[in-house]
Structure 1
Amino acid sequence: MKLVSQYLLLFIFSPTLKAETTEVCQPLPSYLKQYEKDTTLHNPWVVSKRMEYDSKWEFIDLNSYCVIRKLGEGGHGLALLISSYKDAGPFGQYVLKIYKQHPNHGLKRHVWPLRDAELYEALKKFRGYTQALRIYALPEQTDKPFMTLFMANDFSLRDLISRFKADQEGKDFHSLTQLVIDILELLTEMHCMGIHHWDLYTGNIMFSHDQTLKFIDFSYASISNPVNSKTFNFLFDIDTTSDNIKQLISASRIPEEQKHLILSQISWMSSYQELPWESHISNIETTIKHLKHLISTQ
């Protein structure tokens, strides 16, 4: 996957877009008391362990983290950009996913990668995977982790779309087309590994510090063998990706005729049906080829 073009990256990672400094961010426990409706957390002490099979639970004081800003919130929880008082600089920042209910409760697709060995091993080989560092639980409920800590990716596709809507940027056709290509290539790589994300909305597509795309929050993910299944049926990811690209292009400030050029290449994704794997890969490869042609000719 190629890097997003230099023009767009300079915009994304310019100092003016950085979050507030850690000196002014709010301690995590007080933030949760103020904003989180779930009253599960009664004190700042929880247990945590690294995302490794032989890792042991240890007590953690959540006062060691502070909240920079909320990245997003959905029906099952919220995502926060947080910082550790023990670390300094941008690489001392993390994404914390907090679930309002235990992900294995009531929803079949909620799978913790740590508990699904096949999925976890596959994710470690996926270049778009944002490494999950730790899980957190109440001391008396270690079978029900309610938070996951990820490596820091502090700018999401949702943030970029918001900037476009605010008319702050979004006028580079080549950058936008390359970004669409990057998303499709990463999505296809993930699917060829048999991974179905199930929650690939704009807030879960991030730009990392080394300027590449990453996917976060695989709590709902499932895995299957694409060779054995023969039929491509990861339709939910295709549908959400189509919607994500439409939001991105629609919010941009490029001319309408250029928007149409990009969107016409992904129109087939809106009414997708199950079909043989070979046919699906052919559809994706053809789309990427046409998008690359647009970059070279416009």
Structure 2
Amino acid sequence: MSLLPLAIDLVLALTLLWLAWRALTSPDLFRAVVLFIALGLVLGLVWVRLDAVDIALAEIALGAGVTGALLLAALAKLQPAESQTDEVAMMAPIALRLPIALLLIALLTGLGLVVWQLWVPAPGLSNLVDARLDEAGVAYPVTAVLLNFRGYDTLLELAVLLLALIGVWSLSTAPHLGDEEPEPALAALSRLLAPLMILVAAYLVWVGAYAPGGAFQAGSVLGAAGVLLRLSGWRLSLSATGWPLRLVLVLGVAVFAFIGLAVIGFGQPLLGYPQGWAKPAILTIELAATLSIGAILAALFIGGRP
């Protein structure tokens, strides 16, 4: 039985390499996107095997789910002539293949050396995090690092995500959304799955205080629910696409920045929560960030300002 975990890891590693190679070399764009989504799902299993459940949740929801939907949406907007790649045109000249192969071999050798160095035990910062966990307001170390000890990074990540949507909106308006009836099976599936996905998102926000979860995982699930609803024909009313939608989009950054600045009035540094107020502050930030992340991801899928 001791060989079973090793066999599972070997199968996952070989499957991951095969999917990556097939996704990069496939001349058919649709097949490449499907292989990319499968790659994200298998990569999530690899992160689970490495005991990084938080990264696994984000990879499956964002890397495979939302990103796969964005790639499929982009592929659907290509002209038929653009989406069909000429296999002859894709063939690189023979004189160019050798330098590319040598470059890839050097890169692979460097990555192999880095991975080999990872076997050397490193102290890391886990001891420091555990020593201050009682002051963090949450019992889960990852959430404590992301929302308390290194809140600057998380705030900037939310701001970058919002700026990405602003960039998309600055390019064009949203494409015309027809009034055609959606497929009955897809409409029924969305009515069944969307409420469940919203419930899962709420659970991930709450459980993030003491177990794998949090705003980014919950927001990605909420964004996937929005994508599913959009595919089934559901749309926001015109009155909701104005300031209410924009309020939700900026809510995460605004609440995070407001709380981070408000604590200065209590004699604390920027994003330094007062003793006893860390837990409600983190929960408030995560609730706001979840709504913003979900709305931004769904808006990115639509691909234009309403």
Same fold (TM over 0.5): no
Name the structure with the higher strand share.
Answer: 1
Name the structure with the higher helix share.
Answer: 2
Larger Rg: 2
TM-score by length of 1: 0.26
The structure showing larger relative contact order (alpha-carbon pairs under 8 Å, at least 6 residues apart) is 2
